Structure 1
Amino acid sequence: MELDVPTLLMMLVLTPVLIALAMVTVAWGERHEGLQFWAAGLGINALAYVFFGLRNDISPPISILLGNGLTSLALSYLLAAVLRFQRRALHWPMLLLPPLLLSFALLGLLDNFPLRVVVANLVLAGQTAAILQALYVRRSSTAGRGVALVMAGTALQLLVLLLRAGSGITGALLPQSFLQPGLLQNLTFLSTFAASLITSLGFVFMTKERADEANRRLAALDELTGVANRRSIIAALDRDVGRAIRTRESMAVMMVDIDHFKAVNDTHGHLAGDQVLRCVVDVIQHRIRAQDIVGRYGGEEFLVVLTDTSAQGAQQLAEQLRAAVEATHCTYTGASISVTVSVGVFGGRLEPGDSWDQLIHAADLALYRAKQGGRNRVELAQSLGRVTREGVTSSSPETYPPPLA
């Protein structure tokens, strides 16, 4: 099947331009995630095909030098877009070196068509491989499937460039064949068109997936301390309670409250209080396991969920945390601020019908006793407060804490 070369060239010019305009519109005024560089690369590549298409209407050397030079420059901008997305440093002299070297090399090879084809396609293949390598080494840190699309489109383009370089070596590509229909030219144009669509859509998906991931993190994390917020820590506790009931494994929770935190704010200021919160969180995070989770339950109170942990194990850990916080000096603008914590602990095996709020209530009762006992201490909950057959909880009514002043 013979395809109309002018039509293919028109597609290779108009499609990238339209995609680039859409990208610029989307990225206008937003955080620079590389979309602007990608759009610039598409626009430059479209301009390159304009010069390729004018091969019979302008001076051939101009068409050759500008067409290949701009194609190489476009790849440099696409690599810059990937590096910017990955928040890596951009070294523009290195990025702009391939287009300059290619232009000078082709200037000396204008009369040697086979070698010119080999050199041009190998340089372009090297730049394409650099894009693929940059994506591959950071693929695990890029959320979503957009990166897979970009890698697939880039690999397709790399394969065609290597095929064209091989055709220059074997003599399968003739000087007059660029604007004439043929298997290799059709393959080149169609693969370039497909690669442009696939990689561009993939890059847009990459930026969207990153934004979605950032929104999910903002919705799940406490902005000040970086740990789980109240909603997500309760969701994690609810999930772990269900699993503990199914597996008949022990689990524990700790309610950790900073003692006299209001006095810290009144004496040192609220920014110092924020630093104290972060300091205490850091102490907790360095002493719990990877499978455990800490979240800010409210104010200066933190909830720690410990999977597969007995009451005794949780109590020992709570005592270690209490001692560690007491020994830690939080610094703010040169001032050293010492704080202590009170900890309420519940641990044990759960039964069908137990719920996350019962665990929090039991740990809260223990925390209240720790506060009443003088603070800077750990108290273990005596029971979960399950409902008996008579409809009365196993916790005594007098153990329910009144509001703390």
Structure 2
Amino acid sequence: MDILHLDIKSMMLMCVFIGVLITGGLAALLRDRYVCPGMHHWVSGFCILTMGVFFAVGRAFYPLWVSLLFGNLFSFLGANLLWLGLLKYNQRIKTRHYGVIGISVLTVVVLLFMLKMGITEIKRAELVSVVFNLQGILCAREAFRDRAKYESGRLMFGLTCILVIIGSCLRFLTYRYDESYSLLTTNISNLLLIFNAIIVFLGLSFSIMLITSQWLQQKLAVFAAYDSLTGIYNRHGLNEQTTALFDPRKKRMFSHFCVAMIDIDYFKKTNDDHGHHVGDLVLKEVAAKLRENIRHNDILARYGGEEFIVVLPAMSQQDTLNWAERVCKEIAQQPIYVNGLMISVTISVGLAEILSTAKYSLDDAIKKADTALYQAKESGRNRVCCFS
């Protein structure tokens, strides 16, 4: 086969060059403050992996023990960092996970001992293959763990790891047919090694760039739909979530629903007396209490300032009135403690019921609820009024 006449050393140096370019490209992403968790581990991992390949091919120029020590140590550590980066991304990393680095160091010590005892290179290569396969399994498992449907980057990462494991297993089998195996000789085993190295550098780097892009897109979607202070939906999120309710093709899902417009009483006085920082904490507490009192299919949003909107599908006006009065009473009876201050808070609520047979929009429903809210405030606050 002509391919067997290719120079393995040249191909390994090509892998080093690819690794340098990829490491530099990923490192450039670190200049952007909007990088996903785990990126620092991944960049370091690619850098150290590249150094591992460099020291592996360098055995042609310096003592074998130097190549074995640094080539394998850096390669193992690079794989460790890729796995740790996935743990960091999934927010599951613990101090104990760094113990895998100790296992890698121990493996290199065993390899040096095998070299000193005169154990053949093929036996050492088998041990290296086993360790890399275990690391590949860890990476693939973490890449697939709790993966959301949109996370195709993690899917690609896991599939790349599986492909590398398959290549490593095939390489392990080829050892049986080459008793005079050597890392720098041209044979099927080393061609599979080059294949695996290229897959790791190209496949995983593309996966990481895709992971970063999808993470940023998800963050932007969250920023667009959620209020940064209270953690509930903002106006944009409210519109997105209520689209089905106001879609003529889908409105048969609910025969009716209610909209509650909620306003914190005398909130301006709270800001004036205690400062906007305390006012923000009051907003967060009220939002949290409202969240505790809604059903899983209800929609809660901050409409602006101290105003909140709750959309309650399939709930009659009487049931909504009972719910709103209970929430008003609960908030009024539970003062909010902020920085040693006890702040009594009350809310006013306006309700509007909408039937599916009517022609309506979200704005129409909110206008009716707002009219009822104005009536509640005019009637003395800390009460609920229904639009009639």
2:125 pairs, out of 110, 117, 130, with 117
Which residue does 1:291 correspond to in 2? 297
Distance between the aligned counterparts of 1:352 and 1:319, measured in 2? 27
User: Residues 328 and 347 of structure 2 are in contact (CA less than 8 Å); yes or no, is this contact kept in structure 1?
Assistant: yes
Q: Partners of 1:96 and 1:247 in 2: how far apart?
A: 55
Q: CA deviation at 1:324?
A: 1.6
Match in the other structure for 1:231: 236
Of 270, 275, 296, which residue of structure 2 is paired with 1:264?
Answer: 270
Query: Per-residue displacement from partner, 1:316-370 (whole Å, max 9, x unpaired)?
Result: 2212211221122211002121111111111241335321111111111111111
SS of the equivalent of 1:139 reads coil
Instruction: Provide the residue aligned with 2:15 in structure 1.
Output: 12
Tell me the residue number matched to 1:67: 71
User: Equivalent of 2:110, from 105, 117, 122?
Assistant: 105
1:157-203 Cα distance to aligned partner (Å, 9 max, x none) = 223333434445xx334344433333332222113212321111111
Aligned to 1:393: none
Query: How many residue pairs are counted as aligned between the two chains?
Result: 379
> Identity, % of aligned pairs?
27
Q: TM-score with structure 2 length normalisation?
A: 0.90
Length-normalised TM-score, structure 1: 0.86
**Is the aligned partner of 1:312 residue 2:318?**
yes
Q: Is 1:127 paired with 2:140?
A: no
Which residue matches 1:339?
A: 345
> Which residue does the alignment assign to 2:261?
255
Q: Give the equivalent residue in structure 2 for 1:357.
A: 363
Structure 1 residues not aligned, in runs of 5+: 383-405
Equivalents in 2 of 1:90, 1:82: separation in Å? 14
1:164 to 171, 188, 210: 171
- Rounded to whole Å, the distance in 1 between the matches of 2:212 and 2:180 is 41
Which amino acid in structure 2 is aligned with residue 131 of structure 1?
Answer: C
Letter in structure 2 aligned against 1:323: K
Displacement, 1:237?
3.2
Q: Is the 2:256–2:314 contact (alpha carbons within 8 Å) kept by the matching residues of 1?
A: yes
Does the alignment pair 1:51 with 2:55?
A: yes
Q: Matches of residues 210-221 of structure 1 in structure 2 within 5 Å? A: 210-221=215-226
* Residue matched to 1:399: none
The one-letter amino acid of 2:197's match is T
The Cα of 1:255 is off from its aligned counterpart by 0.3
- Per the TM alignment, residue 13 of structure 1 is displaced from its structure 2 partner at its CA by 0.9
Structure 2 CA distance for aligned equivalents of residues 298 and 72 of structure 1: 53
How big is each residue's C-alpha offset from its partner over 1:264-290, in whole Å with a ceiling of 9 and x where there is no partner? 222222211111111111111111111
Q: Is the 8 A contact 1:119 1:165 kept in 2?
A: no
2:287 corresponds in structure 1 to 281
1:136 aligns with 2:144: yes
CA-to-aligned-CA distance 1:43-67 (integer Å, 9 cap, x gap): 2222222232233333233323322
Counterparts of 2:99 and 2:352, CA distance in 1: 60
Cα displacement string for residues 88-145 of structure 1 (whole angstroms, at most 9, x for unaligned residues): 23558514213311221011212222431222221222222222233333434x9521
Runs of 4+ with deviation above 4 angstroms: 90-93
Cα separation, 1, equivalents of 2:166 and 2:351: 61
Question: Which of the numbers 127, 137, 154 marks the counterpart of 1:147?
Answer: 154
Deviates more, 1:301-310 or 1:52-61: 52-61
Q: Which amino acid in structure 2 is aligned with residue 322 of structure 1?
A: C
Distance verdict in 2 for CA 1:199–1:222, change over 3 Å: same
Corresponding residue SS for 2:211: helix
